[in-house]
Amino acid sequence: MRVGLLQGTLDLLVLRVLIPGAMHGYAISRRLADLSEGWLSVDEGSLYPCLYRMEKKGWIRSGAGRSENNRKARFYSLTDAGMAQLEVEQQGWLQFQRVVVRILKRA
């Protein structure tokens, strides 16, 4: 069963995926799909507005480059502000997860 992405979690996932290094949009979406092993249902098209929004917020930066098959592509990488934001979002998510698990166990 595939599950939809919770509102606001795409930012967190993208920021996390970008830690190893710069990637283009397609690589990010593939990486997300691989890591979730097909469980997350994400419209790949919604990734790009999200990337643009994060770039405007200064969390990531983009630059032109060449893909593996030598096509022009835009590569995204994490900034210091993005790193800090990732930390904040990660903490928030873990806290949320703990609360949900606690409720499920005790209710």
Kindly tell me which of 46 and 97 has the beta carbon lying closer to other proteins. Answer: 46
Rounded distance between C-alpha atoms, residue 74 and residue 80, angstroms: 19
Backbone phi, psi, residue 38, to 5° = 80, 5
Dihedral over Cα of 69, 62, 47, 84: its sign: positive
CB-nearer residue toward other proteins: 21 or 45: 45
Q: What's the min distance (Å) between Cβ of 18 and other proteins?
A: 16
Closer to other proteins by Cβ: residue 28 or 78: 28
Residues that bind other proteins (CB under 8 A): 24-26, 29, 43-46, 48-50, 52-53, 67, 69, 71-74
Closer to other proteins by Cβ: residue 39 or 52 = 52
- Least Å distance, CB 52 to other proteins, is 6
- Three-state SS for 71? coil
Q: How far is the CB of 19 from other proteins (least distance, A)?
A: 21
Report, in Å, the least distance between residue 69 CB and other proteins. 8
The HSE-up count of residue 15 (CA atoms within 13 Å, CB side) is 24
Q: How many whole angstroms separate alpha carbon 76 and alpha carbon 5?
A: 21
